[in-house]
Amino acid sequence: MKKILSLFFVLTLILTLAACGAPKTEQPEPFTGSIDDLIKQNKNLKCVLQFKEGYDISEATTYVSSNKARSDYKMNISGQPQSSHFISDGTWMYTWIEGMENQASKIKIADLEDMSTQAEAEEQGYDNYQERLDYQCYKWSVDQSIFVPPANINFIDFTEMMKTMQQQAEQIQQGGNIDMQSMCSMCDTLTDASAKTQCKQSLNCK
């Protein structure tokens, strides 16, 4: 009997130690909300977007820490794969598409609340900041370097561009002289193909 009890004790001890030594798999925490909502969680998180049927984005990962965020997207636009990136450093938002860095742009977060620029901001891809999506989130060891926009990309100030276009439009209404070449160049900065075409057509650009 003593031998049986001793054997039982040894087996129990082995199983207990094995269980304690087994690596724990982190369980993701589901989250539904916008990138802005993720930031307000005040946590260091890595969140993987849940795929949606019929959605242009096929894969996306968002990182948040303090008041900063970064999203890396893989998209399928008209059958063509594209990779785009978004950074918010708490003051500015930056967005760019790989292979189209000459159309990279930035906008002040405060200006997103300006209704006069909201539609144009959506065309540039900034609407993802406010769009509610489904994520699976994990704890993340912060790497602050990913929140720094690439130094080799010249980001167009979207806010200033819109102000200039508005001023040019006012000059047209007043019958003043305008620089049509500059206006047409601004159309080229739009990342949305249909918006770019519409812009050029409205200005009779070649």
In a domain, 22, yes or no: no
Q: Are residues 144 and 180 in the same domain?
A: no
Phi and psi at residue 137, to the nearest 5°: -110, 145
Are 122 and 130 in contact by the 8 Å Cβ rule? The answer is no
In a domain, 15, yes or no: no
Q: pLDDT value at position 11?
A: 43
Q: Are residues 35 and 78 in the same domain?
A: yes
Q: Are residues 149 and 172 in the same domain?
A: no
**Range of 195's domain?**
160-203
The number of domains in the chain is: 2
pTM, rounded to two decimals: 0.67
What residues does 134 pair with on adjacent strands? 32
**Assigned token pair, 41:** 């969680």
Q: Are residues 50 and 82 in the same domain?
A: yes
Helix (H) or strand (E) holding 76: strand 68-77
In a domain, 10, yes or no: no
Closest CA to 72 of 107, 37, 97: 97
Q: Are residues 198 and 164 in the same domain?
A: yes
Q: Are residues 141 and 170 in the same domain?
A: no
| Residue ranges, the chain, pLDDT below 70 | 1-24, 52-55, 113-128, 165-183, 186, 189-198, 200-203
| Rounded Cα–Cα distance for residues 159 and 180 (Å) | 19
> In Å, what is the CA distance from 75 to each residue of 54, 78, 155?
11, 10, 21
In a domain, 19, yes or no: no
Note the pLDDT tens digit of each residue in 20-43: 544 567 788 999 999 989 999 999
Q: pLDDT value at position 189?
A: 64
Q: Are residues 51 and 75 in the same domain?
A: yes
Residues in the chain: 206
Secondary structure of residue 184 in the 3-state scheme:
helix
In a domain, 4, yes or no: no
Q: Are residues 48 and 126 in the same domain?
A: yes
Q: Are residues 176 and 151 in the same domain?
A: no
| Rounded Cα–Cα distance for residues 53 and 76 (Å) | 12
| Rounded Cα–Cα distance for residues 115 and 134 (Å) | 26
Q: Are residues 57 and 122 in the same domain?
A: yes
Name 205's Cβ contacts closer than 8 Å, sequence gap at least 6: 180, 183, 184, 187, 199
Q: Are residues 127 and 188 in the same domain?
A: no
Q: pLDDT value at position 170?
A: 65
Q: pLDDT value at position 205?
A: 76
Q: pLDDT value at position 83?
A: 93
Q: pLDDT value at position 46?
A: 96
Q: Are residues 81 and 151 in the same domain?
A: yes
In a domain, 11, yes or no: no
Cβ count near 123 (within 10 Å): 16
